Amino acid sequence: MSTATAVIEEQGTANDLGYHSFSAGQYRFERDEYFAHIYYPGGRHLMHVEAFLRALMRDVGWGFFYGTVNFDDVLGTLNHYGTVDLFVGLLNQAYKSRNRHYVETFNSKDLKKVFEAMLDDWTNEGFDPYAAPDETGNAYGPKRGNNSKALKRERIVAKRMVGLPGDLDIRTDAAGQPVNRQFLDVPQDQPEVHAEPGFEGEVHAFNMFAYTSRSDVTWNPSVVSNVKDSQICATTEEHMLPIFHGNDRVEWFIQICDEIIWDIEDGKTGRPRAKVVMRAGDVAAMPADIRHKGYSPKRSILIVWENNDGTLPQRYSSGQLKPYPVEF
Ligand SMILES: [Fe+2]
């Protein structure tokens, strides 16, 4: 596979509805009032535009994330950390068995540029693809305005830990970060820290539930502490994960409150593997060879524990490591 260069279409290619089309290698993306159309050598794929923008937002915001971001059961990206595959049907058994899949590899930063430009052009005023459906406007119709401000939010990462001097601040009303309407019952007090003399600068704590209850986005992890390759990511979930995330390593989930129902499928074929209902206090290890999509009927808090060790994808895909972390 060769690395292609992504090309942003010239201004002036806007269609009658005001939307520009975009190209990346041999892919071409167009939108109309309701749908995103993805043209590729050998075919054309179509997605409901709101679902497409919500998925695109995660792919851009997460920098293609760990492993696979499946926009639906056909279209997606596969991260090689520096380069990224944009594929149609690669992880769909029917496409693959009939040799109808198509894959092109890009420098990650080139494809990200095209995705960012497309997301900005196709997102209308009042629609925030990071927000829960009940907290934002609609994505449809002819082009009207933009919502660049909402799109420029980046995934927030603490250098060491939230609240330390020089690190991410604790969220407050004063900073414009109110408690979400569905988390009014989450206590907002902060822990008391009583360090031994001489250790005042080395002990720290903050109320992570309070911090997370003030997140205004859904299905977008905030990395709240970072110790070597161990990343604790807190996230608020409402409605459904806009993608199927395909793991390339084990990923741990800790359900903090309320409930998420997960669809688990085989990562390569999409064949259903399990339904997992996680309630407050439940812990699950998502295996390295699956994809998952979550449904959260009420806004809930989930901790995602990621292992950032760059050697893991190869060790799992080669079979050196089993796809699950423990045998009972
Ligand atoms: Fe995931």
Contact 190, 200 (CB under 8 A): no
Neighbours of ion ligand 1 (CB under 5 A): 245
Residues 6 or more apart from 18 whose CB is under 8 A from it?
142, 143, 144
Contact 29, 86 (CB under 8 A): no
Query: Computed over its alpha carbons, how large is the radius of gyration of the chain?
Result: 21
The predicted-structure confidence for 119-159, as pLDDT tens digits, reads as follows 999 999 999 999 999 999 999 999 999 999 999 887 788 88
pLDDT at 260 over 80: yes
Distance 162 CA to ligand 1 centre (A): 22
Residue 51: C-alpha distances to residues 153, 189, 294 (Å): 19, 37, 14
Distance 100 CA to ligand 1 centre (A): 27
Partners of residue 104 on adjacent β-strands: 86
- Comparison of pLDDT for 8 and 299, the residue scoring more: 299
Distance 155 CA to ligand 1 centre (A): 15
The predicted-structure confidence for 297-306, as pLDDT tens digits, reads as follows 999 999 999 9
User: In the structure encoding, which two tokens stand for residue 119, read together?
Assistant: 């997301």
Distance 101 CA to ligand 1 centre (A): 24
Q: Is 239 left (phi over 0), alpha (psi -120 to 50) or beta?
A: left
Q: What pLDDT does residue 108 have?
A: 95
Distance 218 CA to ligand 1 centre (A): 14
Distance 153 CA to ligand 1 centre (A): 20
The predicted-structure confidence for 195-242, as pLDDT tens digits, reads as follows 999 998 889 999 999 999 999 999 998 888 889 999 999 999 999 999
Helix (H, G, I), strand (E, B) or coil at 8: coil
Distance 79 CA to ligand 1 centre (A): 13
Q: What pLDDT does residue 12 have?
A: 62
Distance 246 CA to ligand 1 centre (A): 7
Residues 6 or more apart from 313 whose CB is under 8 A from it?
67, 248, 249
Distance 283 CA to ligand 1 centre (A): 14
Reported pTM: 0.94
Contact 59, 42 (CB under 8 A): no
Cα 255 from Cα 293, distance rounded (Å): 15
Distance 78 CA to ligand 1 centre (A): 13
pLDDT at 2 over 90: no
Distance 287 CA to ligand 1 centre (A): 10
Distance 80 CA to ligand 1 centre (A): 16
pLDDT at 63 over 90: yes
Distance 251 CA to ligand 1 centre (A): 7
Cα 207 from Cα 180, distance rounded (Å): 16
Cα 72 from Cα 75, distance rounded (Å): 6
Distance 233 CA to ligand 1 centre (A): 11
User: In the structure encoding, which two tokens stand for residue 73, read together?
Assistant: 């059961």
Query: What is the overall mean pLDDT for the chain?
Result: 94
